[in-house]
């Protein structure tokens, strides 16, 4: 079984050699795993993985190799719990006073309480305020309500979870989508600022006639530079988490931009929930894909147009606090709101395109904050048309 782990990691492209493998076996021989599956998992990752870039590959291989090893009751218990969480009990909506009394938890405190609660709980629970359950005020479970929590199973209802207890799988938005791409291309035609640049290769008929008249009929040809679209667009896209339901429409937008040849230049990057010290060239968002946000601000001048695509829905700490990212591998000492402010200040024209309806914008605390920095438009044909007008039209103003 251990060799399956070794070769499985090699097959996934993880650079693992004999030295790391021998260190892992020696640690097992000394009993550092403590006969505990979780400690065994962390021990293997510490010995075998040299970069957090390969954490996801390690998780996939470990789950495949050691699935079911928890014990003879593990699968039955897990299945019973997931069946329960997939069928939540309805709960009575909280009043504003009750909602205000709920304690907002930090990421570390949330995870500590979650693990402690899992260790103590031994039965199903619905409608409460402590245990992992459904339809209540507990920070753990699904289909309940809490200002910060961990959703376990089920579907998002109130979109208030700070974290989702499930495998993290992000992927690139596609650039080959065809459905409704034509309509988006029509909207993108408004993203044009024609200027005359380059060599004078185009005959200017009006000036040629005028100059010929001034020369008493002697023909004088006048040339000018051709008019070209001078728009350079920086596209920043939120991926994963609450953006998963919008994979298709965002992919169609990206496809339309790639197929629209009128832009002088297009650059696109990914982020998750909020922009921090780095953005990423791939939706996998590994270290190899990272690109410093500060370098973008230094390299691109203020004339670049910026479109940020995301639902602006996140835990307030992710937006307002240092080290607020829910992914500790992407923590930043600079709060996300600071980076958003820097982007808004650096570029002359910026818009935020939100796939959620306007009702969600006004109901989300973080979305309301983002709207103070960027004019916000809906991810629809009409919304894209309005966003393109805002990028090339009148002076920038904040959406209502």
pLDDT attached to residue 142: 55
Task: Provide mean pLDDT across the span 375-383.
Answer: 89
Q: Does 157 lie in the same domain as 287? A: no
pLDDT attached to residue 114: 63
Percent pLDDT > 90 in the chain is: 22
Q: Does 249 lie in the same domain as 212? A: no
8 A C-beta contact, residue 188 and residue 262:
yes
Domain boundary, last residue among 25, 45, 65: 65
Residue scoring higher pLDDT (219 or 310):
310
pLDDT attached to residue 75: 45
Task: Provide mean pLDDT across the span 358-382.
Answer: 90
Distance CA 176, CA 290 (A): 24
CA 152 to the chain's CA centroid: 20
Residue 360: count other Cβ atoms within 10 Å of its Cβ.
16
Q: Does 236 lie in the same domain as 224? A: no
Q: Does 271 lie in the same domain as 388? A: yes
Residue scoring higher pLDDT (188 or 347):
347
Residue 366 dihedral angles phi and psi, to the nearest 5°? -70, -35
Distance CA 121, CA 131 (A): 7
Q: Does 28 lie in the same domain as 157? A: no
Question: Does some domain include residue 251?
Answer: yes
pLDDT attached to residue 193: 55
Question: Does some domain include residue 131?
Answer: yes
pLDDT attached to residue 73: 39
Distance CA 329, CA 284 (A): 13
Q: How do residues 189-236 score in pLDDT, each as one tens digit?
A: 766 654 556 677 777 788 888 888 888 888 888 777 666 657 889 999
Q: Does 119 lie in the same domain as 257? A: no
| For the ranges 261-265, 305-309, 391-395, the one whose mean pLDDT is highest | 305-309
The domain of 207 spans: 196-229
Residue 70: count other Cβ atoms within 10 Å of its Cβ.
13
Burial class (CB in 10 A: 0-12, 13-18, 19+), 123: exposed
Token pair 């609450």 in the structure block, residue: 242
Segments in 66-196 forming alpha helices (H): 74-85, 96-101, 107-120, 181-188
pLDDT attached to residue 393: 67
CA 65 to the chain's CA centroid: 30
Question: Does some domain include residue 173?
Answer: no
Q: Angle at which helices 336-346 and 365-373 pack, to 10 degrees?
A: 30
Q: How do residues 59-104 score in pLDDT, each as one tens digit?
A: 888 888 877 555 443 444 455 666 666 666 555 565 666 555 555 6
pLDDT attached to residue 359: 84
The DSSP line for 275-301 is --SEEESSTT--GGGEEEHHHHHHHS-
Question: Does some domain include residue 400?
Answer: no
8 A C-beta contact, residue 24 and residue 47:
yes
Q: Does 304 lie in the same domain as 210? A: no
pTM for the predicted model, two decimal places: 0.56
Token pair 């306007």 in the structure block, residue: 358
pLDDT attached to residue 221: 84
Burial class (CB in 10 A: 0-12, 13-18, 19+), 326: buried
Residue scoring higher pLDDT (229 or 2):
2
Q: How do residues 258-303 score in pLDDT, each as one tens digit?
A: 887 778 889 999 999 999 999 999 988 888 899 999 999 999 999 8
Residue 66 dihedral angles phi and psi, to the nearest 5°? -110, 20
Q: Does 130 lie in the same domain as 202? A: no
- Reading the block at residue 359, the tokens are 């009702």
C-alpha distances out from residue 165 to 7, 98, 129, 256, Å: 28, 25, 18, 34
8 A C-beta contact, residue 233 and residue 266:
yes
Q: For position 286, which CATH number holds?
A: 3.40.50
Question: Mean pLDDT over all residues of the chain?
Answer: 77
8 A C-beta contact, residue 39 and residue 74:
no
Token pair 């994963």 in the structure block, residue: 240
- Reading the block at residue 222, the tokens are 């006048």
Count the domains in the chain: 4
**Secondary structure element (H or E) that encloses residue 57, with its range:** helix 55-65
8 A C-beta contact, residue 362 and residue 231:
no
């Amino acid at each position: 079984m251990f060799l399956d782990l070794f070769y499985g990691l090699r097959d996934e492209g993880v650079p693992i050699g004999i030295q790391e493998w021998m260190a892992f076996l020696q640690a097992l021989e000394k009993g550092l795993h403590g006969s505990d599956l979780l400690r065994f998992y962390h021990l293997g990752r510490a010995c075998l993985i040299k970069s957090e870039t390969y954490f996801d590959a390690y998780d996939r291989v470990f789950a495949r190799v050691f699935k079911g090893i928890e014990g003879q009751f593990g699968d039955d218990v897990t299945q019973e719990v997931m069946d329960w969480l997939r069928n939540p009990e309805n709960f009575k909506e909280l009043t504003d006073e009750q909602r205000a009394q709920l304690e907002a938890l930090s990421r570390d405190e949330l995870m500590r309480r979650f693990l402690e609660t899992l260790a103590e709980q031994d039965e199903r629970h619905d409608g409460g305020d402590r245990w992992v359950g459904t339809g209540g005020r507990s920070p753990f479970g699904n289909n309940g309500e809490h200002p910060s929590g961990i959703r376990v199973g089920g579907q998002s209802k109130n979109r208030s979870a700070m974290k989702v207890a499930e495998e993290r799988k992000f992927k690139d938005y596609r650039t080959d989508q065809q459905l409704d791409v034509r309509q988006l291309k029509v909207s993108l035609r408004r993203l044009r600022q024609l200027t005359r640049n380059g060599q004078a290769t185009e005959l200017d008929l009006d000036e040629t006639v005028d100059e010929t008249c001034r020369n008493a009929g002697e023909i004088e040809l006048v040339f000018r530079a051709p008019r070209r679209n001078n728009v350079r667009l920086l596209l920043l896209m939120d991926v994963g988490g609450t953006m998963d339901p919008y994979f298709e429409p965002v992919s169609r937008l990206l496809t339309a931009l790639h197929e629209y040849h009128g832009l002088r230049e297009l650059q696109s990057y990914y982020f998750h929930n909020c922009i921090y010290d780095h953005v990423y060239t791939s939706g996998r968002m590994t270290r190899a894909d990272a690109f410093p946000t500060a370098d973008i601000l230094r390299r691109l001048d203020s004339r670049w147009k910026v479109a940020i695509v995301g639902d602006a829905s996140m835990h307030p700490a992710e937006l307002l606090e240092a080290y607020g990212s829910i992914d500790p591998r992407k923590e930043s000492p600079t709060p996300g709101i600071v980076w958003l402010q820097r982007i808004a200040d650096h570029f002359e024209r910026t818009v935020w395109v939100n796939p959620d309806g306007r009702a969600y914008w006004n109901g989300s605390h973080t979305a309301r904050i983002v709207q103070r920095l960027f004019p916000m438009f809906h991810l629809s044909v009409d919304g894209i048309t309005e966003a393109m007008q805002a990028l090339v039209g009148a002076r920038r103003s904040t959406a209502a």
